[in-house]
Structures are given as C-alpha cells and as structure tokens.
Amino acid sequence: MIENIRLSFQGIWSHKMRSFLTMLGIIIGIASIISIISTIKGTNEQIKQNLIGAGNNVVRVQLYRQDYDYAYDIGNEGIPEGIPQVTEEMQESIEALPQVEAVAAYNKRISYNNSFYFGNTELSGCEVYGIDNSYFPTCGYTVKRGRTFVPRDFRDFRAVAVIDSNTAKMLFQGEEPIGQAIEYNSIALVIVGVVEPDLAFEPVINSLEDYYTYMQSSSSGKVFIPNSIWPSLFAYDEPQEVAVRASNTEAMSAVGKSVTDLLNTQCTNENIVYKAEDVLERAKELQDLSNATNQQLIWIAMISLLVGGIGVMNIMLVSVTERTREIGLKKAIGAKKSRILWQFLTEAAVLTSLGGILGVGAGIGLAELISNLTQTPVAISIPFIFLAVLFSMAIGILFGLLPSIKAANLNPIDALRHE
C-alpha cells in the first residue's frame, strides 16, 4: 500500500497540470458543499442565539387566552375564574423539578392605555412587572445604578420602582434617574435603581423579516415595581406568570413543559391556560425553513462532485492507455491482477483525496469571504471536514474502479505489443 501511494504521488507530480485540472471538479464540489454547510450551520446558530438572547436559559411560562398572551389582552380585569395565584408552595414544587435552578413569580402588563411620565416626557407601550427580589437573579439582571427592592419596600407598600436602561434613556434622556419620580395612573413612583441584563445582547438583524422575528416589545423598556403595590396601580389583582432558569440551554424545552404541566393541574378554566415560551422549538422551525432552501444548493454542489468523478474516470482511462506497456511488463514478471487493480485504485483515491483537501481549504476560505461580504455568520464543522475528505476518497475509488479493472484485465502479451 505504501508503495502504491508513493507511485501515485509520483504519477500525479509528473503530470501536474493534468492532475490539477482533473482535481478541479472535486475541489469545486467540496468547496461548495463546505461553504454551504458552514453557512447553514452558522445561520442556525445565529437563529438560536437571536431567540435565546444572552444565554441565561430562562423559560417564561405565561398565561394564554387561546393563542394570545393574557398580558396583552387589554380587556382583562382581575384574576379570571379557575386560575389560582402562584403560591410559595407552588414555587417550591417548581424549584424541585429536574434541571430547574431558580424560579420567580411575577405580574406583567403592557401599558398601552396608560403611559409613564417624567415631566413632559411620555413613555407608552412599556412592560410593567410586579415582582419580588427573586426575579432579578432568576432572569439574569444586575444593578447598574442604585439598588433593587428591600424587604421594607414590600412591607410598607412603598411606591418605588426599578427601571431598565432602555427606560432610563427614553424617559430621562441623560438625566440621573435615581431619586426622580415618574407618574403612572396618577401615582408617583420613585426610582431607586437601574438594572440591565448580565449579558447584554442584541439580535443580529439583516432584514425587515428578521426585525419582526427577533425584536421584542422589550425595546420599549421595562419598569419593575414591588408586587405588594401592584393593586394600587391597576386597581385589581392579576394572575401571576413564572420565570424559570434551566440548568442549561438544551433543558429549556423539557423544563418549560414540566412547569406548564404542574401549573395547569391547578387551573380549571378551559379558555385560559399556562404555556411555556419554547424558544428552542421556534428556533428549530426557523432552522428547518432555512435548511429547506439551502438543501437545493447542496444538491447543485453534488452535481459538481459527479462531474469531477467523471473527470477522474476519464483521466484514469487515459492513464491506463498510456501505461499499457508498463502494465504488460509488470504482468510478465509476475504481478497479479489484484496488485494492478489496487495500484490504479490507490492512484484515483489519492488524486481525489488531494482534491478533497484542497477543496476543504477553498471551502473554508469561501465561507469566510461570504461571511465578510454578506455579514452572514458561518460555523466550520470539523467532523464534516473529515467526512468531506473521506467522501472525496470514496469518489476516487468509485469512479476509478472501471479503469482499474480494465488495467487489471489487460492481456500481458497484447499490452507488451501496444505502441
């Protein structure tokens, strides 16, 4: 085998230009597939990252009236029949579930009808959360300025609020928010802190479709108040939703389902149920849609490999014709059919393997070029690189088989007489 490989390299080197042109189809095919697969993989990872965000593995289990988030239903008032509040016992049961690290119950409203005011500045469409202090560590928020809530805020029903950085920018426009009062429903709320996510993240937006897919209403800002003063702002209690931090990203779907099942066992209202925000399933749907389009490109690239394989077969047939006297001489001194067969098969496999290796390099370079020109993310798959090289070797063996058999079956007397 070593001798066959040595002879193969010797033959390839003695016909450098012909060998390169023969490998060109393999190079183009492998490079095309590598670049397409890298782009698909990179796009899929980007979709997943865009949906999950900073990677804090938080699953939100929310109330839905049919297919609509209950918090967005402007007409709801109070706790609907058959939907209990999330008690401390229920939170403990959730925290005891497998792969759950932390849990926080909260109220949520979207301030469409009423706006927040600071002086003459108005902010509408803001998300309002009624929380306890477990919400911030569970959902991955850190204090940027000021503080979060203290036990006395809840006990004394203090009208205080914590805002996120977006709200601070839009309402205060560069002024120091700590200690300032904002107004909502004729109630003044004193700002005691500004928070932001532990890992700030902005989804990659390359089109208007991406904007509507990934951008959330959270861009309008968030205001957090103690859950003890929630009825003061809205004049009634409302059902709570749950934020759960899973132990890892892959566990988010399972955690969301188990929490949903647990909470829905307490509900008797058929029209309103808890549903988990399954971002992994949504990411998979978008990835499948992206893959369906790109699969066609892969098949087109496979045609290049087929053409390259036919080129290998053609050049190997030429090589057999050129070396007919050499084959006859080897047979005359006792070379077996299998030796001749393996020599030409090895040469075809080495030729296409070199093409595969060059194609991998070209594919990585092409993927990076596409990424730089179109801002499309790419992710190089190491296992697929090895698979591509093995596949190119298999093409050499497959398309080199016919010329190798022809060489092995040559009559030594006719071969020696060949001019």
Higher pLDDT, 154 or 72: 154
Domain-located, residue 373: yes
pLDDT band at residue 33 using 50, 70 and 90 as cut-offs: confident
* Residue 98 counted as domain residue: yes
Q: Which among 216, 231, 247 is the end of a domain?
A: 247
Given the DSSP bridges, would you call strands 116-118 and 121-123 parallel, antiparallel or unpaired? antiparallel
Kindly state whether residue 269 falls inside one of the protein's structural domains. no
Count of structural domains within the chain: 2
**What secondary structure letter does DSSP report for 54?**
T
Task: Mark whether 84 and 213 lie in a shared domain.
Answer: yes
pLDDT value for 217: 43
Same domain, 201 and 95: yes
| Domain-ending residue, one of 224, 247, 270 | 247
| Residues 243 and 146 both lie in one domain | yes
The encoded tokens of residue 180 equal 């300032």
For range 247-272, the mean pLDDT:
82
Of 198, 220, 247, the residue that ends a domain is 247
Q: Which of the four pLDDT bands, split at 50, 70 and 90, describes residue 31?
A: confident
Q: Are residues 231 and 337 in the same domain?
A: no
Q: How many CA within 13 A on the CB side of residue 168? A: 22
pLDDT at 181 over 90: yes
pLDDT tens profile 107-144: 888 766 678 899 888 888 788 999 988 899 998 888 99
In a shared domain, residues 329 and 292: yes
Are 105 and 198 part of one and the same domain?
A: yes
> CB neighbours (10 Å) of residue 285?
12
Query: Does 229 map to a domain?
Result: yes
Which residues have a Cβ under 8 Å from the Cβ of 383 and sit 6 or more positions away? none
Q: How far apart are the C-alpha atoms of 252 and 279, rounded to whole Å?
A: 8
- DSSP secondary structure letters along 98-125: TTEEEEEEEEEEEESSS-EEETTEEE-S
Residue 270, domain member (yes or no)? no
* Domain identity same for 176 and 308: no
Q: Same domain, yes or no, for 185 and 318?
A: no
Give residue 265's pLDDT.
86
Q: Is residue 214 domain-shared with residue 66, that is, in the same domain? A: yes
* 38-42, 109-113, 287-291: the lowest-pLDDT one: 287-291
Of all residues in the chain, what percent carry a pLDDT higher than 70?
73
- Same structural domain for residues 123 and 236? yes
Q: Are 357 and 379 members of one domain?
A: yes
CB contact set of 328 (below 8 Å; sequence gap of 6+): 410, 412, 413, 414, 415, 416, 417, 418
Check whether residue 65 and residue 43 sit in a common domain: no
Q: Is residue 151 part of a domain?
A: yes
Residues 395, 28 contacting (CB under 8 angstroms):
no
Domain range enclosing 135: 58-247
